[in-house]
Amino acid sequence: MAEDYTAESALHYLIEDDAVGQLWRRTGRMAALGSEDGVLKLDWVEGVSRLLADQGRLEQIEADARAIWQRGIRHIIWAGMGGSILTVQVMRALGFCGECGDTTLLPCPPEEFIAFHPLDSTDPAALNAIIRRIAVVKNVEQEETERSAFLQLILHDVMMVGVAMGMTSEEPITHLEWFADLLNQAGLRAAEHLLVMTLPGSYLDRFAQERQAPSVPLQPDGGAGTGGRMSAPSTRVFLLPAALFLTRLPNAPGQLRPVLQRAWDEYNLELAASSPEAHPFVQLAAALCGASRGGVCRLLLDMPAEWRTLVSWIEQLMEESLGKGGKGILVFDDQPLNAAAPCYQQEGILRVQVSMDMVREAPENRFILLQRSLASQSPQDRLSALAASFLGWQLCMALYGYVQRIQFAGQPAVENYKARARALRSWREPLVVASQWQPAVREGILTLLSPPAAARSPALQPGVLQPGSDGSAEDAPNPAHLLARRFTDALLGTAAATSVEGSSQAEPLRYLDVTVNGMAPSDMLESIRGLVNAIGNEGLGVPVKLRVAPAAYHSTEQSEMDGPAPLASLRLVARDGEPCLLGSYTTVFLHAQAVSTWQAMLEKGRTCLLLVIDGSLNDAAEPLATFF
């Protein structure tokens, strides 16, 4: 059991141990916690400082960006998972990546910038959506054009950047294979439309060497000491999109260096080391330690509306880094919790409000994180503010890990499901595993696969009357009710029966997760969000996550498998998917990931249910409304 701290005692501990100094020097216990398999993974700590001290690397990245534009590239499909792509998604939502996101502050039309299309899914529907977006921009319809000519029209100004900051990520390889095949059909040179950024010796690196694909190092200095979730702002995951944006601004040459200089100055690692009590992110780390119980804190984060996209990046940073050994920080967007509900607990929660201006009277039980730079209006200043935020949250994460003795480098738990998925991909249909599972309850196109313990619940056996019945035949559960009851029973059973390891003290459910495997319509996701929030926030008094996979398996699965418990997770997967519009790409990898993560969760003793849809996600909208 981890020692509990007050915010004051945690801050004192950080100061006495010179924790920030250890991080900066990469020594002591901080070096041990920041190493993976004995290899130091702390290059990110001073990555920006090293870039600013170098007289050529930032300028070379800007030159590379200009060359990409001059080559005629106007669209980039950025293929990656987790930290390799979340930064790009945040930048895109903030208007730094072309036609999407908030472009209201741009000094010139969005079409003057390269448009980014993030790809972090193994669902063919995600590939189709990107092709459709590009076709709409170009006003091209496949029916009117011969196939190879159509492919040339679509792809002649498109580049795919495949990125992996982990050694075993395979999704970008499948995306590059798909895209390279299309280039071949179009008669376009792959070397002009492909770029790989990865670690030496990784699966993706081997692929690039075999295919002779152009490749550049993730760290401009060629190092390999930066984990994926620390990829911003000191690796090309941040620097290349930033340079592609900045070099298109009118009358603004050489902007990458001043953008990073402003970010480094605002971050102020010197202040954190010399006067930790005065640094906002050191204060936040101490507050999180003070709110935690047994090394666990639920962080409910209230961001300014225009910066809300940053929550997903912070979530991945905290949960993949710290979700280990039953400890960690669980990150949620701010949610109202019913204090009268059976699982509500005020302890172990910290509500953090990020403010762009001074708050005169802070609401009770809220930590105010003041970040004035988020109110900046110029694109360059907003980009600096974003980079400074990345740095600050990384510092906060490392300091929490130091106090709670959590090794924040690496994410060992996810290798289990990756190995399972690798084996299942050789099957024609990985979901056949689900067809043989017991206990299972079926209603219409929905089949719910419960943990083995659910089979022992008397209330859920067919023909057994539900509590409160009068014994009449009408009280016998119909399949639809049985399906919903099994889900509810799993939630309440987890809430009531899970005990702290090594203790007889029951511990309430900490949160509810619903994960949709594949690309679901946005209106369907919002409908599910409303239903699940009602169950979790109001009915149980716990925060809720609605995740989309497989992206989520690279952002929060480490925590779900090995971080704070008890939790209850419901995973949705549809048997049918969209056929790929162009080239060959199936749902086999998607289904392998859905099954393997579910199996791995059960092996870890986590409450995890798999809801299989005998049809497509679109077919399930009405049945799911009944289910929830």
Name 63's Cβ contacts closer than 8 Å, sequence gap at least 6. none
Same domain, 116 and 243: yes
Compute the C-alpha angle 452/455/457, nearest 5°.
125
pLDDT tens digit string along 167-226? 888 999 999 999 999 999 999 999 999 999 998 889 999 999 998 999 999 999 999 999
pLDDT tens digit string along 326-353? 999 999 999 999 999 999 999 999 999 9
Note whether residue 419 is domain-resident.
yes
Note whether residue 2 is domain-resident.
no
Same domain, 277 and 248: no
Compute the C-alpha angle 43/44/46, nearest 5°.
80
Same domain, 134 and 178: yes
- Angle between helical axes of 588-603 and 414-424 (0-180°, round to 10): 140
Residue 461 has pLDDT above 70, yes or no: no
d(CA 93, CA 397): 24
* 249 contacts 379 by C-beta, under 8 angstroms: yes
Note whether residue 16 is domain-resident.
yes
Query: Domain range for residue 159?
Result: 45-254
Same domain, 306 and 240: no
pLDDT tens digit string along 48-100? 999 999 999 999 999 999 999 999 999 999 999 999 999 999 999 999 997 65
pLDDT tens digit string along 116-155? 999 999 999 999 999 999 999 998 876 556 788 899 999 9
Same domain, 339 and 485: no
Final residue before a domain boundary, out of 228, 254, 280: 254
Which CATH number covers residue 510?
A: 3.40.50
pLDDT of residue 436: 86
Which CATH number covers residue 302?
A: 3.40.50.10490
Which of the 8 DSSP states describes residue 454? G
Question: What is the arithmetic mean of pLDDT over 573-594?
Answer: 97
Indicate the number of domains in the chain.
3
Q: Tokens at residue 80, please? A: 């990656």
* 118 contacts 85 by C-beta, under 8 angstroms: yes
